[in-house]
Chain A
Amino acid sequence: MAERFTKSMARNIYLGGSAFFVLLFLALTFDTQVRAMPERDNRDQLTDQVVRGKHVWENNNCVGCHSLMGEGAYFAPELANVFDRRGGGDSETFRAYMNAWMNAMPTNVPGRRQMPNFNLTDKEIDDLSAFLEWTSKIDDNDWPPNIEG
């Protein structure tokens, strides 16, 4: 670097640049959270049951194998659109599917990936289904590209 570019100039770029972008980031966060998100995350349908379902999701570390909106592990299928893929977009069908699926685990097919049986109650499975249904309706800019996730 040329000698004319001094250390204090470098420091000022660091301090000024990071301060500016921290403030910009906070402003954008405010806009995203306060103005934009209520329109996009269908929070008017965020019932107590959905929140309970989120805790079922968390307490069993589902994200340790599955991804949800593309985030998590990549060992098992994406689940943000499983309501559409396995339930055909219908609550009753999806609930029945979830109940059958969760109780059929593990398959114990030799050599195949195994999902544990989490011993969920029928109520917990219903809560989890409600959570996944609600999640499928968040406006996520049309991701994933197709039904397979």
Chain B
Amino acid sequence: MKYESQRVAMPYFIFALILFVGQIVFGLILGLQYVVGDFLFPEIPFNVARMVHTNLLIVWLLFGFMGATYYMVPEEAQTELHSPLLAWILFWVFAAAGTLTILGYLFVDYATLADVTLNKLLPTMGREFLEQPTITKIGIALVVVGFLYNIMMTALKGRKTVVNIVLITGLIGLAVLWMFSFYNPGNLAQDKYFWWFVVHLWVEGVWELIMGAILAYVLIKLTGVDREVIEKWLYVIIAMALITGIIGTGHHFFWIGPPEYWLWLGSVFSALEPLPFFMMVIFAFNMINRRRRNHPNKAALLWAMGTAVMAFLGAGVWGFLHTLAPVNYYTHGSQITAAHGHMAFYGAYVMIVLTIISYAVPILRGRPYGNSNTAQIVEMWGFWLMTISMVFITLFLTGAGVLQVWLQRLPESGEALSFMATQDNISLFYWMRTVAGTFFMAGLIVYLGSFFIKGQAAPAEEVRGPAPQDA
């Protein structure tokens, strides 16, 4: 850590991990409700638990992105953060608003929540992932604007690096696209079209810029490879992400009203969406092979490789499996979608946040070369337990989805099984998914345990001459 103000990243990382635990607890509840239908009913109905599960994910990833930004931007710009005080104030505002919203979901009936938060003045609630009360949405917008102000003032007064420019471009995109969460026309077909401007253009658009910038930063630090080389890769990766991903939005327009040309555009461009993720794999492994030093933080290196591979599998391969319109006609809104969603979010966004945490938190705790070997081994156990569990969750959901399509979607009307009859037939897969989810929770506990192991690693050994001076 070179700048004192980078410390404000710490509360963001800690709070992100606390929310992560909550997300997984509710994931387990949902998994059980799939097989024991009345589990926790009527106290926590499925829709409430799901809202908590997905909203916690989104909010903790945002905390992670913000923590990453507060850590990276001052160091890249070679200057102190514009206002650490503002960063702390926004932390508490965001944490309080997020916590209150989740408590509102859990303890207030949703229709009442809509009523008391004056949803009728500007109705934005009750849409998937955008369930937050309108006042919470406004709060998120204000926090993000304050955050961007702080970050841009910092970046503008210091050194302009490609990592900072790409990261901040992604964050500005995130803020601008969030504005579409306030647009909710009475025409459902229009509502759905612009809803994807937030959802798709975040996760298959601007978030990839954020992910690419964090990955590039960590690779610069860990491998000591010349910044010029890494920045060139970063540009090519994000170029691919936007060139394929923007028109790739069309793969969501197949069955919600827009005209037929989207069947072609969405299929062709989204079929190319695995490319940027494939390039991230090549990029990460190439840079590590060309490393100029053996950084002693092996755990961070494992996360960096892991996020590239798992993002490619989850977002790239599992996305491609069902993205072509003739396939998607049968798989749309089935458990195949759920399988893809789980591995893509974990591989791309959960793991990139855990990568920067693995790199930055030891430094913030006064361990510049990383945690002790014991702590790193425990952390790597957490990595493997969570990652392998997620692979199995994805495989079991894929199995459930294939059977669901076979029983419910492929036969003609009259011969196809009903939705609920199909669910009964595939419950074995849901049980296995829940078992895998329990292992994921165990992995998360092991991972968190690694933070409580004392000691630090020995300094890095240079392998190919001195590193570039800024790395």
Decide if B48 touches A112 in the complex (CB within 8 Å): no
Q: Mark B113-147, 1 if CB is under 8 A from A, else 0.
A: 01100011001011110010000000000000000
Report which of B189, B239, B414 forms a contact with A138, defined as CB distance below 8 A.
B189
Decide if B255 touches A143 in the complex (CB within 8 Å): yes
Q: B431 an interface residue at 8 Å Cβ cutoff?
A: no
With CB as the reference atom, state the residue of chain B lying closest to A10: B235
Decide if A146 touches B411 in the complex (CB within 8 Å): yes
Q: B77 an interface residue at 8 Å Cβ cutoff?
A: no
Q: B107 an interface residue at 8 Å Cβ cutoff?
A: no
In the assembled complex, how far is the CB of residue B400 from the closest CB belonging to chain A, in whole angstroms?
10
Decide if B242 touches A14 in the complex (CB within 8 Å): yes
CB-CB < 8 A to B416: which residues of A?
146-148
25 A-B pairs, CB-CB below 8 angstroms?
A1-B236, A6-B232, A11-B162, A21-B247, A22-B246, A37-B193, A40-B257, A40-B259, A51-B186, A60-B110, A61-B131, A64-B45, A65-B47, A67-B333, A70-B256, A72-B128, A113-B33, A113-B37, A116-B41, A143-B255, A143-B329, A145-B410, A147-B413, A148-B422, A149-B419
Given A41-B190, A114-B41: A140 and B256 within 8 A (CB)?
yes
Report which of B46, B238, B256 forms a contact with A14, defined as CB distance below 8 A.
B238
CB-CB < 8 A to A74: which residues of B?
333-335, 337-338
Decide if B242 touches A64 in the complex (CB within 8 Å): no
Decide if A61 touches B126 in the complex (CB within 8 Å): yes
Decide if A41 touches B257 in the complex (CB within 8 Å): yes
In the assembled complex, how far is the CB of residue A105 from the closest CB belonging to chain B, in whole angstroms?
11
- Where the two chains meet, the residues of B that have a C-beta atom closer than 8 Å to any C-beta of A are 33-34, 36-38, 41-42, 45-48, 50-51, 110-111, 114-115, 119-120, 123, 125-128, 131, 162, 184, 186-193, 228, 231-233, 235-236, 238-239, 242-243, 246-247, 249, 253-260, 262-263, 265, 329-330, 332-335, 337-338, 408-414, 416-420, 422-423
List the count of A-B residue pairs having beta carbons below 8 Å apart.
229
CB-CB < 8 A to B260: which residues of A?
141
Report which of A17, A36, A62 forms a contact with B126, defined as CB distance below 8 A.
A62
CB-CB < 8 A to A58: which residues of B?
114, 123, 125-127, 184
Most buried by B among A51, A116, A134, A135: A116
Q: A106 an interface residue at 8 Å Cβ cutoff?
A: yes
How big is the A interface, by class? 35 or more
Decide if A111 touches B242 in the complex (CB within 8 Å): no
Given A61-B131, A143-B329: A10 and B236 within 8 A (CB)?
yes
Most buried by A among B126, B131, B162, B410: B126
In the assembled complex, how far is the CB of residue B29 from the closest CB belonging to chain A, in whole angstroms?
12
Q: A90 an interface residue at 8 Å Cβ cutoff?
A: no
Report which of B38, B231, B259, B335 forms a contact with A113, defined as CB distance below 8 A.
B38
